[in-house]
Structure 1
Amino acid sequence: MKLSKTLITAGALASAASLLAACGQGQVGQSGGSGGTSNTANSKKLALVPGVQAEPFYISMQCAAQDEAKKLGYDLTTQAPQMFDAAMQTTIVNALGSNPPAALLVTPTDDKAMLAPIQQVKNRGTKIVEVDTSLQDKSVAVSSISSDNTEGGKMAAQTLAKLAGGKSGSVLILDTIAGTSTTAARAKGFEDELKNSPNLKSAGIQFTQNEPDQAAAKVTAALASTPDLIGIFATNLNTGEGAATGLRNAGKIGQVNLIGFDASPSEVDGLRKGEYQGLIAQDPASIGVQGVDQAVASLEGKPVTRNLTANLHSITKADMDANSQYFYKQKC
């Protein structure tokens, strides 16, 4: 994506101010007075720009990050785009240039397109910490915290193989948007691990643009074109919810094993109802806490770990109550 400097306008600032996350605390970098302030004046200010508004994964991350920042004597504000979209996120990140925080925790929505705007904020003296996703360019962030997404994909394939119980069939993989590092790793890990189950074969990867209705449509098409469809792996919350809708509309709930990634309230409810047969839960709260810890360590001249991973958990209906601590939040 070619990024234009014209995004840095008063209109962009106004747009960014309106895109507050579900439980955010105001405009990122906002100060009591008018106009921009220096990074020195914002030495205790942290900003979080996650992937999308009102998604339980990012809300869980934000809640934990806010609590950790407060505990360490810092103030964290959050803004998120209305969609998991590089152009929308670019507007928010560009707006930080006039009032840069001491550190920016960011979930790059595109591993290439978000390089320029994030680099511009870094050039103003802001420390960059990547949470959940990362840029291809590893020189920008001081630390990256995410789940081991490749391992999560493998875990999903292992869970599906157990649920299939030796039955043969095809498996559809629903990814989000090309260029999203986390979901791409999940899809690859799943496909690689699926090769260890000779009774299961991949029906390919379909992209949903992170839209539930597109995921539902992909499932409808796959059911028509692939009579032996035995399983679906949805690489994130939106694709999982859309896949469940597609199966429900076709009357195939329970007949095709659906493995979702994440543990949003709707997915957990779906697991309890039998719409999902398995979920791979991340630990977004841990990602938020570690993100703040690494940002503060960098600001205070303490040792920083370049790459950190959060644990993953395979959950089925049989053990979901014992794993309820991994269910995501809807509000702080």
Structure 2
Amino acid sequence: MGTMGKAMKVGVLALLLLPATACGKSGTGTGTGSGSGNLSGKTVQLIVGVKDDPFYITMTCGAQAEAQKEGVKFSANGSAQWDVSQQRPIIDSVAATKPAGLLISPVDTDALTPDLKQLQDGGTKVVLVDTTVSDSSIGVSRISSDNEAGGKTAADALAKQMGDKGSAIVISVKPGVSTTDARIKGFQDQIKAAHPNITLLPVQYDNDDPAKAAQIVQSTVAAHPDLAGVFADNVKTAEGVAAGVNQAGKKGAIKISAFDAGPTQVQDLKNGTVQVLIAQDPAAIGVQGVQQAVAAIQGKPVQASIGTTLVAITSDNMNDPNVSKYFYKGSC
């Protein structure tokens, strides 16, 4: 673990430089049509991907605090599962209230575009937070981590833990999600390019269900006795993967590199079930989402694209206040 800690300190520094790079590439411009500087009575709403996910709870806390600071009304909602059929009615309900601004984490890159376009055409300033859609005309601003870079960092960290040998598998939520698709790409590309002695197994999907993720781990262990590493690319998946490794009696033998840093994940890191967490900064995504929505409402320039911080966390650095501040919240 000591060698891993030294390596990851470099990783943390590199990842902390990502926001400046992303913002440097961002375009600016109003892209908002007419706006009013008066925020009196204006409402900004947030629709998250899954309402009980610690990532989105932390984002909501940040957005709520910033909305209060900006002097706009705020409310948040989200579905119980990562599902288009559950998120669409929420979008329709919000559209009926005609909010001045909407922050949203769309659960699909294409399926919800017509709904968001209709809402945007009706005058609501839409900001895409965390996830995006393929249609570049949707959203006055897009705010997210550099997920592909995070996937690459997860690959290097996991390969080191695995001793650069054995089989590895990626377990993810479902295809067609902008963030997790990028993480998978980054992970797979880096393993193929830098760790050729590791055998990549086909990606499997759990529909954001921890129980299914645990089942996938156990069935993969049975089919591939040389399984040595798992990349779990979101909160719910990581919880299930850790449980599955424990249930298979493989704690410590199968290494886990996981995206996000929810309370359960942090506990799994403390007890040695998980070796590396790639934490995002969802609170900052929420804060900046509200800032960009307010700017658009007021007719001021906005940043078209904003990148936020990623931090690699291990047992060696998790007690550092500069690192532990990125742990996610279970409530505001």
Q: Give 1:42 shift.
A: 8.2
Residue 114 of structure 1, CA deviation: 1.1
Cα 1:64–1:146 shift into 2, 3 Å:
same
Q: Counterparts of 1:233-244 in structure 2 under 5 Å?
A: 233-244=231-242
Residue type at the aligned position of 2:318: M
Check whether the contact 1:277–1:316 (CA below 8 A) recurs between aligned residues: yes
Distance 1:159 1:102 in 2: 43
Q: How does 1:238-253 map to 2 (within 5 A)?
A: 238-253=236-251
1:54 pairs, out of 52, 55, 58, with 52
Which of 289, 292, 295 is the matching residue for 1:294? 292
| Per-residue CA distance 1:13-39 (angstroms, 9 max, x = gap) | xxxxxxxxxxxxxxxxxxxxxxxxxxx
Matches of 2:95 and 2:49 in 1, distance apart?
A: 19
**Counterpart residue number, 2:4:** none
Separation in 2, partners of 1:230, 1:83: 30
Instruction: Tell whether the 8 Å contact from 2:41 to 2:73 is kept in structure 1 after alignment.
Output: no
Instruction: Give the alignment partner of residue 194 of structure 1, picking from 188, 191, 203.
Output: 191
Residue 154 of structure 1 and its aligned partner are, at CA, apart by 0.5
Q: Counterpart in 1 of 2:85?
A: 87
Q: Matched residues in 1 for 2:96 and 2:237: separation?
A: 36
Q: Which residue of 2 aligns with 1:180?
A: 177
Distance 2:184 2:96 in 1: 38
Q: CA deviation at 1:201?
A: 2.1
RMSD: 1.4
**Alpha-carbon offset, residue 164 of structure 1:** 2.2
Structure 1 contact 42–101 (Cα < 8 Å) conserved? no
Which letter maps to 1:130?
A: L
**Quick check: 1:169 aligned with 2:174?**
no
Within 5 Å, give how 1:127-138 maps onto structure 2. Answer: 127-138=125-136
In structure 1, runs of 5+ residues without a counterpart are 1-39
1:29 corresponds to: none
Alignment of 1:194-213 (within 5 A): 194-195=191-192, 196-213=194-211
Q: Distance in 2 between matches of 1:307 and 1:207?
A: 29
Alignment of 1:316-327 (within 5 A): 316-322=314-320, 323-327=323-327
Letter in 2 for 1:79: N
Distance, in Å, in 1 between the alignment partners of 2:267 and 2:162 is 22
User: 1:43–1:102: 8 Å Cα contact kept in structure 2?
Assistant: no
Q: 8 Å contact 1:133–1:146 — kept in the other structure?
A: yes
> Does structure 1 conserve the Cα–Cα contact (< 8 Å) formed by 2:170 and 2:232?
yes
Task: Give 3-state SS (helix, strand or coil) of 2:202's partner.
Answer: strand
Counterpart CA distance in 1 for 2:260 and 2:147 is 11
- Flag as ranges the 4+ runs of structure 1 deviating above 4 A: 40-43
Task: Give the corresponding residue for 2:230.
Answer: 232
Tell me the distance in 2 between the aligned counterparts of 1:95 and 1:198: 50
Output the amino acid matched with 1:87: S
- Aligned positions of 1:1-332 closer than 5 A: 44-166=42-164, 168-195=165-192, 196-322=194-320, 323-332=323-332
Query: Which blocks of at least 5 consecutive residues in structure 2 are unaligned?
Result: 1-37
**Any idea what SS the aligned residue of 1:232 has?**
strand
Name the structure 1 match of 2:26: none
TM-score normalised to the size of structure 2? 0.86
Q: Using the TM superposition, give the Cα deviation of residue 226 of structure 1 relative to its aligned residue in structure 2, in angstroms.
A: 1.1
Q: Structure 1 vs Structure 2: percent identity of aligned residues? A: 44
Q: Distance in 2 between matches of 1:232 and 1:145?
A: 27
Does the CA contact (< 8 Å) of 1:146 and 1:308 recur in 2? yes
Aligned residues: 292
Report SS of the residue matched to 2:246: helix
- State how far apart, in whole Å, the 1-side matches of 2:105 and 2:207 are: 17
Q: Distance in 1 between matches of 2:94 and 2:170?
A: 37
Task: Report the Cα offset of residue 92 of structure 1.
Answer: 0.5
1:143–1:304: 8 Å Cα contact kept in structure 2? yes
Letter in 2 for 1:156: A
> Is contact 1:43–1:101 with CA below 8 Å preserved after alignment?
no
Deviations 1:281-314 (A, max 9, x none): 0000110011111111111121111111111011
Residue 213 of structure 2 aligns with an amino acid whose one-letter code is A
Cα displacement (A) at 1:245: 1.2
Worse-superposed segment, 41-50 or 52-61: 41-50
